[in-house]
Amino acid sequence: MTRLKVSYILLFFFIFSCSTEKINLSPIGENSVSLNGSTGSYSLGETKNLIVYSSEITSLISSFPKFRNDAVNSEVLILKSHLKDYIGAMTTYNLVGMEDSKVKFERSYKKLQKLRKFLNRDEDEVLNRYLVRIKTNMSFLNSTIPQDSVSTFKN
């Protein structure tokens, strides 16, 4: 009799342990819906390029040197902020946020180009090297966006 009860209890636990579903707490599913309400996602190749170019930009942001000119340093901080916003919007497929942060990035980039004349030659070369690498990776990131989603966004 006790053997029969133990069998029923084991059968009971076995049935319910196999039928329960695990809760997926991954934030990846949440990233497929953008903040502006449109849905979109990246293909595997686009995701790989997004990771490569955005990681290059974030490593450039983290290793950006300090300069003797305070105006340049404050504009570099603004540029870093806009780059982080752009990468965040790119990750969440937020086309409005990407366009907004891209415009702000370009404005800050142009301002830094004007401020370069107040730096000495060595600092100017270092800043130029960082800006060129950032601009190149931004161009690669922009080419990662599927063109059909950009055309529907602008219409």
Structure tokens at 5: 């009860």
What integer pLDDT is reported at residue 142 of this predicted model? 83
What integer pLDDT is reported at residue 14 of this predicted model? 66
Q: pLDDT digits over 50-80, tens only?
A: 888 888 988 998 999 999 999 999 999 999 9
The Cα angle at residue 101 between residues 76 and 60, in degrees rounded to 5: 40
Q: Which residues of the chain have pLDDT under 70?
A: 12-42, 146-155
Q: Which domains does the chain have, with CATH numbers?
A: 44-154 (1.20.120)
What integer pLDDT is reported at residue 149 of this predicted model? 52
Contact in structure between 42 and 92 (CB atoms under 8 Å): no
What integer pLDDT is reported at residue 37 of this predicted model? 41
Rg from Cα positions in the chain = 25
